[in-house]
Amino acid sequence: MTSFDINLLPSYDPEVERRVCFITGGNSGIGYYTALNLYMKGYMVYIASRSKQRMERAINDIREEAIRRRLKLSSSSSISNGNGTSSSNKLGELYYIEIDLLNLNSIELAVKEFKSRENSLHLLIDNAGIMAVPFKLTKDNLEVQLQTNYISHVLLNDRLIELMLKDSVINPRIVLLSSIGHWLLPVKLSLNYQFTHYKPNLLFSWFRYALAKTAGIQYMKILSKKYPKILCLSVHPGFVMNTNLFSHFTRLPIIGLFFWCCFQFFGWVFGVTNEEGSYSTLKCALDPSLNCQDDNGKYFTTLGIESKPSAYVLDEKYALENWNWTVDELAKRGHPVEI
């Protein structure tokens, strides 16, 4: 695997340049290490999650881990900021924002809370997601994977983008966690086609997942054209096998053990750790070589390597159809977004 050095990405002195990040799902897995490294880079990190108790525990863990890592690096005279000069060694701040991506009203409340505390936003990371779970409708009458992985983040981004367009915000970025699993979409389908009556559910759950991830990458490309001053990127973190995303399969009766063994073997051969999975996000969030003119709307894979998504993602007519459907569905539920 290609090496990745987080110390080569820039850090910020929060007392000189206050940079704010909003990330969904930062209490575990990839999101945890994304939040940890941004905190160590001097960011004010707002972590949005459902459980206050779990999030408070995660924030304490992040603070302790950051101190442990700083002590380990104390023998070094400085940490490179990517330009060969000494960077700030100061930590940022960590804050909790309550949000439930399965409830569109909760997103509106979370945004209202965030705006009462901050008047600008530099980095927005759509990290939270679920994978290949059984068919289920949310309170908003949307398929659970489609809402969690895609539609809720569309609403969240729409409400927060105004804070990223302020003149005081330099180099704003939005990073969406996608997946190489978007290639599993078997045929070009509208977002309202959710395989609700097809069996086995175990198989078609993957197709629903691929559909949501395809729509997410399409959305970031549309967003990059709509807001050319915001760098909008989507990433595949790599095959991170030791994550809660696979808990549904490993808990299945009888065959759960089979899946667990398969995931362990696959992870041993092809997988990356949770922290390695965060590197593609961190590169897209921090790398000064990426810019709106050359890179907006691009898709990156493990360790931040630029890649080409599926033909369905690149189909502009199909992307526009999915976007129009999304706008209509949000409007029907009382959450209009800017077209």
Distance of CA 295 to the CA centre of its chain: 18
Provide CB contacts within 8 A for 88, sequence distance 6+: 11, 12, 13, 14, 16, 42
Catalytically active residues are 178, 209, 213
Q: What is the pLDDT of residue 259?
A: 53
- Rounded CA-CA distance 294/264 in Å is 39
Take residue 12 and report the two structure tokens written for it: 């910020």
Q: What is the pLDDT of residue 150?
A: 97
Taking only the tens place, the pLDDT of each residue in 233-282 is: 999 998 665 545 555 555 656 655 655 565 554 455 556 889 999 999 99
- Rounded CA-CA distance 216/326 in Å is 11
- Rounded CA-CA distance 263/270 in Å is 10
Q: What is the pLDDT of residue 247?
A: 56
CA terminus-to-terminus distance, the chain? 41
Nearest residue to 127 via CA among 234, 11, 275: 234
Q: How far is CA 242 from CA 45, 57, 231, 261, in A?
A: 24, 20, 30, 12
Quick check: bond before 200 cis, omega within 30? yes
The list of the chain residues with pLDDT below 50 reads: 1, 77-87, 243, 265-266
Q: How far is CA 142 from CA 103, 109, 149, 323, in A?
A: 10, 19, 12, 15
Total H helices, total E strands in the chain: 12, 8
pTM beyond cutoff 0.85: yes
Q: What is the pLDDT of residue 82?
A: 47
Taking only the tens place, the pLDDT of each residue in 204-223 is: 788 899 999 999 999 999 99
Q: How far is CA 118 from CA 44, 45, 95, 154, 157, in A?
A: 10, 11, 12, 20, 15
Largest CA distance in the chain: 62
Nearest residue to 36 via CA among 266, 283, 275, 296: 275
Q: What is the pLDDT of residue 306?
A: 96
Q: What is the pLDDT of residue 167?
A: 93
- Note whether 131 and 237 are within 8 A (CB): no
